[in-house]
């Protein structure tokens, strides 16, 4: 059983460093834009991550922050103060990165198809340039 002093020190460390940093404002805007264009991928549900944060270490484990999950498990019920936020932020971060990878793969696929059309002379350079601009606009 941890002593009161070590419990206080661990709590202080967790509260000052945060369990999950979440997305910065630029990343939040980018994820919102991807969602508006129906290009976002949701690998984790942020609301579920927040709800699981009420359980001992649940939000952190859900967000794949296993080390923090163990810490929050040991600090439960005090971890209820920050683990729901950590679970939500971690899910959003995972969704952001998965969405970026998804968009990059879609863009690459479309560009490969377009390059193939140019190589086989299905389209000319002018049409290629116009289509390339459309692809870049779609995935920006």
Domain boundaries, the chain: 4-102
Model pTM score: 0.78
Q: Which DSSP symbol is given to 78?
A: G
The four Cα atoms 64, 96, 20, 16 give a dihedral, to 10 degrees, of 170
What is the number of residues in the chain? 140
**Burial level of 93, CB count in 10 A (0-12/13-18/19+)?**
buried
- Cα–Cα distances (Å) from 140 to 14, 26, 46, 99, 131, in that order, read 36, 13, 24, 12, 14
Under a CB-based contact definition with an 8 Å cutoff, are residues 87 and 50 in contact?
Answer: yes
Dump pLDDT digits (tens) for 70-100: 999 999 999 999 999 999 999 999 999 999 9
Dump pLDDT digits (tens) for 7-43: 565 555 544 444 456 899 999 999 999 999 999 999 9
Under a CB-based contact definition with an 8 Å cutoff, are residues 139 and 107 in contact?
Answer: yes
């Amino acid at each position: 059983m941890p002593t009161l002093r070590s419990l206080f020190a661990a709590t202080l460390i967790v509260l000052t460093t945060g369990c999950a940093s979440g997305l910065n404002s630029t990343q939040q805007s980018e994820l919102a834009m991807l969602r508006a264009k129906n290009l976002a991928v949701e690998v984790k549900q942020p609301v579920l991550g927040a709800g699981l944060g009420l359980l001992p270490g649940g939000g952190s484990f859900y967000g794949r922050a296993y080390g923090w999950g163990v810490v929050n498990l040991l600090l439960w019920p005090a971890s209820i103060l920050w683990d729901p936020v950590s679970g939500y932020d971690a899910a959003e971060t995972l969704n952001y990165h998965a969405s970026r990878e998804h968009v990059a793969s879609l863009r690459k696929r479309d560009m490969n198809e377009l390059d193939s059309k140019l190589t086989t002379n299905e389209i000319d350079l002018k049409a290629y340039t116009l289509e390339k601009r459309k692809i870049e606009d779609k995935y920006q």
